[in-house]
Amino acid sequence: MNKQNTSPYYQGDLIFIFLAFFAISVISIYAAGQFGQYGTGAWTRQIIYYMVGVICIVAINYFDLEQLEKLSLYIFIGGIILLILLKVAPAQIGGHPFAPTINGAKSWFVLPGVGTFQPSEFMKIGLIMMLASVIGKSTPKERRRLEDDIYLLLKIAGVSIVPVGLIFLQDAGTAAVCMFIVMVMVFLSGVNWKIISLIGSVVVLLIITVLSVVLLFPDFAKESLGVKQYQINRITAWIPDNSANSEQTKLQDATSSDKFQVDRAIMAIGAGQIFGNGIKNLKVYVPEAQTDMIFSIIGEAFGFIGCAFVVIMFFFLIYRLVVLIDRIHPYSRFASFFCVGYTALIVIHTFQNIGMNIGVMPVTGIPLLFISFGGSSVLSVLIGFGIAYNASVQLTKYQSYLFK
């Protein structure tokens, strides 16, 4: 009776998660504002980004899942066009920044009066939508033959190679996120486990080989593989050289901005202890505090309790999405596989960002989704959230019709 009297558009748990992340984000960015890195008004801009995100979520829920699947191709193509334009765009137009290199990566358009716009953030959602459509239209697992698996893998590779390649030329960290999403979606697409094992082994071997080349032959990596110096610095800062205690090694460690950033983040989290120092009493300066290192601000301001609450909220969201993946699958394979990709996106961002804040993962410039300051990051993840919310609404409707 209660379910029939409640609108299917009211998904209370997802609304609670959204409001919790909104509050955490705004308060944390306000706390980090005392360092003046992005101006004291960054938290007000974050509120605006969230409000625009709410409009996107509402707009998305005017479409049904079939319409969203049809739009996936156009969104995907639009994302690729933006990535190509970013690649060929000049750093300046008329003396004003347009597509500059920021923090070692050419990943942003600078729009006067708006701010920066990062196409790769939206491409991640477009890629997930397109892959969800491709996998959703494939032969169901129980009727699939080996030839069908190979054909599906070729289609997934064809969809993924262009956007991931273009993103890699701009930002290796974001490209790695996209590759992780693709691998998770392949793993859960029903492809024969023997093929997946073979692909997984090749990928792991390739990663080990590339890391070995970068660490042992950095000059060759820069000249032949196109690896940037700042990317090498991030890896070496994460993997300290214990075999050499030369003055050169010590000097590199002392001057490494990435190592300094991680050290300060760990210090800030430790300074918060159990209950934190409060939002107006931060003592440890951390570079990129409002973006990459926002978790360290939460740690110092709210202590272990605040950090634990953030981790619990991410686990709550991931659990909710996993349940949705299973329950929506009989009604919409597209929605189910979209939620697979979106869950993978949340997992890798959360694991990587918190990991680099506590020194167990290399610094990659990947934001903590929902919380880090940034219009492109917030809007893209809220668009994905809107599609997942739509799927939850549609599931409620399907179940209501089924039991009427």
pLDDT digits (tens, 9 = 90+) for 98-139: 888 776 667 888 887 777 889 999 999 999 999 999 999 988
* CA gap 28, 290 in Å, rounded: 8
Q: Tell me what pLDDT residue 247 has.
A: 42
Which residues are CB-contacts of 263 (< 8 A; sequence separation ≥ 6)? 359
Say if residues 371 and 296 touch (Cβ distance below 8 Å).
no
Q: Tell me what pLDDT residue 293 has.
A: 92
> Is the pLDDT higher at 359 or at 228?
359
Residue 245: pLDDT over 60: no
> Is the pLDDT higher at 53 or at 192?
53
Helix (H) or strand (E) holding 48: helix 42-60
CB atoms within 10 A of CB 88: 7
CB atoms within 10 A of CB 265: 28
Between the two ends of the chain, the Cα-to-Cα distance in Å is 11
Say if residues 170 and 118 touch (Cβ distance below 8 Å).
no
Residue 236: pLDDT over 60: yes
Q: Tell me what pLDDT residue 5 has.
A: 62
Percent over 90 (pLDDT), the chain? 54
Percent over 70 (pLDDT), the chain? 88
pLDDT confidence band for 389 (50 / 70 / 90): very high
Residue 287: φ, ψ to 5°: -60, 145
Residue 256: pLDDT over 60: no
CB atoms within 10 A of CB 303: 19
Using the structure block, give the residue that is written with the tokens 């196109």.
Answer: 226
What's the full length of the chain, in residues? Answer: 404
Mean pLDDT of 201-219: 81
Q: Tell me what pLDDT residue 104 has.
A: 63
Helix (H) or strand (E) holding 4: helix 2-5
Structure tokens that stand for 396 in this block: 């409620």
Mean pLDDT of 278-305: 91
> Is the pLDDT higher at 207 or at 284?
284
Which residues are CB-contacts of 195 (< 8 A; sequence separation ≥ 6)? 149, 150, 153
Q: Tell me what pLDDT residue 239 has.
A: 66
Q: Tell me what pLDDT residue 146 has.
A: 83
Say if residues 125 and 53 touch (Cβ distance below 8 Å).
no
Say if residues 183 and 196 touch (Cβ distance below 8 Å).
no
Q: Tell me what pLDDT residue 147 has.
A: 84
Q: Tell me what pLDDT residue 254 has.
A: 39
Mean pLDDT of 315-335: 96
Structure tokens that stand for 374 in this block: 């940034």
Q: Tell me what pLDDT residue 237 has.
A: 64
Q: Tell me what pLDDT residue 238 has.
A: 65
Give the E-state strand segments of 163-249 in sequence order: none
Say if residues 363 and 262 touch (Cβ distance below 8 Å).
yes
**Kindly report the CA angle at 378 between 373 and 380, in degrees rounded to 5?**
145
pLDDT confidence band for 328 (50 / 70 / 90): very high
Say if residues 140 and 82 touch (Cβ distance below 8 Å).
no
Amino acid identity, residue 289? A
Specify the range with the lowest mean pLDDT, choosing from 12-21, 83-92, 339-348. 83-92
Structure tokens that stand for 135 in this block: 């996998």
Strands 92-93 and 115-117: unpaired
Using the structure block, give the residue that is written with the tokens 């079939």.
Answer: 66
The CA–CA distances, whole Å, from 123 to 112, 156, 165, 320, 334 equal 22, 15, 12, 24, 18
> Is the pLDDT higher at 150 or at 240?
150
The 8-class DSSP code of residue 239 comes to S
> Is the pLDDT higher at 237 or at 16?
16
Q: Tell me what pLDDT residue 403 has.
A: 59
User: What's the whole-number average pLDDT of the chain?
Assistant: 86
Q: Tell me what pLDDT residue 404 has.
A: 55
Highest mean pLDDT among 90-99, 109-118, 282-291, 375-384 belongs to 375-384
Residue 205: φ, ψ to 5°: -60, -40
Say if residues 333 and 322 touch (Cβ distance below 8 Å).
no
Which residues are CB-contacts of 175 (< 8 A; sequence separation ≥ 6)? 164, 165, 167, 168
Q: Tell me what pLDDT residue 248 has.
A: 44
Q: Tell me what pLDDT residue 402 has.
A: 64
Q: Tell me what pLDDT residue 280 has.
A: 87
Say if residues 287 and 261 touch (Cβ distance below 8 Å).
yes
Predicted TM-score (pTM) above 0.85: yes
